[in-house]
């Protein structure tokens, strides 16, 4: 499965890459909202793992922008954030995220959630 990790924190993006690659997934990193849109247009991922705190866009703005892209509209989006008080789960789920995890998240839970969202999308 191809996972696009939209994460500007290098430590977090490296951790996500390692976890997902060890689970057999192909991972591409996009550190900004704009680079995520470019990556999606070049090759549609099977799932997007999206940090809600990016330097060039708010989480709600980016999710809405992604959902407006015909190629990404059906692709599951898993939002992650270290700032749960600034990025309430219900707001991002309403904007179009399929699931939400708070950082730091359990590594097994993260991989399990990615795989579960992909299974649900395949049905």
Residue 45 burial (CB < 10 Å; 0-12/13-18/19+)?
buried
Give me the domains of the chain, ranges plus CATH numbers: 2-118 (3.40.50.2300)
Residue 18 above 90 pLDDT? yes
33-89 pLDDT, tens per residue? Answer: 999 999 988 999 999 999 988 999 987 888 988 888 887 888 999 999 876 665 566
């Amino acid at each position: 499965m191809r996972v696009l990790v939209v994460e500007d924190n290098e430590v977090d993006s490296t951790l996500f890459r390692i976890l997902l690659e060890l689970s057999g997934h192909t991972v591409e990193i996009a550190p900004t909202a704009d680079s995520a849109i470019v990556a999606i247009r070049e090759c549609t991922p099977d799932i997007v793992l999206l940090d809600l705190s990016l330097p060039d866009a708010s989480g709600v703005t980016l999710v809405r922008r992604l959902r407006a892209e015909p190629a990404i509209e059906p692709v599951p989006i898993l939002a992650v954030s270290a700032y749960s008080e600034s990025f309430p789960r219900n707001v991002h789920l309403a904007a179009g995220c399929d699931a939400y995890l708070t950082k730091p998240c359990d590594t097994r839970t993260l991989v399990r959630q990615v795989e579960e969202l992909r299974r649900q999308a395949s049905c």
